[in-house]
């Protein structure tokens, strides 16, 4: 990520020394240490996994699988802050809804409140089914997890159930 902005904070001399000491103990410069505390690495990693969905290629299922696997092992204490910072701008409606549903399902699985910004992702206007087989549609309609159904997405597996 290219850094083009600067942020100044007013602190006391004691606070400045304490921050420098903590950064030194962590083996980092002050900027890296402060950013790591304020913007945890989990958020960067989750965003990095989502970003390929902005590219028009046919590897969506692999990207979703990577996001799923990361969300499944991410501890609840890290999921909340990581999800809070996500940027889905520039994603097509299908991808934005799929990621939003995955985040919402992961939050439900870990018993934490989903981020408020999820409400701003408008559900798909038309239903999307994970399979084109008409014979599977009833199954998909009834087995999709609630966060996916609310977004007009009909899938067969949830986070934690991936084969």
Residue 79 clears pLDDT 80, i.e. is over it: yes
Structural domain includes residue 119: yes
Structural domain includes residue 136: yes
Structural domain includes residue 1: no
DSSP 152: T
pTM for the whole structure = 0.74
Domain that holds residue 145: 13-154
Structural domain includes residue 3: no
**Counting Cβ atoms within 10 Å, is residue 93 exposed (0-12), middle (13-18) or buried (19+)?**
middle
Residue 162 clears pLDDT 70, i.e. is over it: no
Structural domain includes residue 4: no
Confidence of residue 106 (pLDDT cuts 50, 70, 90): very high
pLDDT at 57: 75
Q: Tell me the per-residue pLDDT of 129-157, one tens digit each, with 9 for 90 and over.
A: 998 999 989 989 998 999 999 999 999 87
- The gap between the terminal CA atoms of the chain, to the nearest Å, is 33
Q: d(Cα 101, Cα 95) in Å, to the nearest integer?
A: 10
Q: d(Cα 31, Cα 28) in Å, to the nearest integer?
A: 8
Structural domain includes residue 2: no
Structural domain includes residue 161: no
From residue 50, how far is each of 28, 62, 86, 95, 137 by CA, in Å? 27, 11, 9, 9, 27
Task: Provide the number of structural domains found in the chain.
Answer: 1
Structural domain includes residue 138: yes
SS3 helix, strand, coil % of the chain, rounded to 5?
A: 60, 0, 40
Confidence of residue 4 (pLDDT cuts 50, 70, 90): confident
pLDDT at 2: 65
């Amino acid at each position: 990520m290219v850094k083009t902005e600067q942020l100044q904070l007013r602190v006391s001399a004691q606070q400045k020394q304490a921050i420098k000491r903590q950064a030194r103990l962590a083996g980092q410069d002050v900027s890296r240490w402060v950013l790591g505390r304020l913007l945890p690495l989990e958020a960067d990693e989750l965003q990095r996994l989502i970003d390929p969905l902005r590219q028009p290629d046919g590897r969506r299922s692999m990207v979703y699988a990577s996001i799923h696997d990361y969300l499944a092992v991410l501890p609840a204490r890290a999921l909340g802050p990581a999800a809070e910072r996500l940027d889905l701008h520039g994603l097509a409606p299908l991808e934005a809804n799929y990621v939003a549903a995955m985040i919402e399902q992961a939050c439900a699985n870990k018993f934490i409140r989903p981020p408020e910004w999820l409400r701003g992702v408008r559900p798909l206007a038309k239903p999307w089914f994970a399979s084109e087989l008409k014979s599977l549609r009833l199954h998909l309609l009834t087995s999709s997890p609630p966060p996916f159904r609310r977004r007009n997405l009909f899938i067969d597996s949830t986070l934690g159930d991936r084969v």
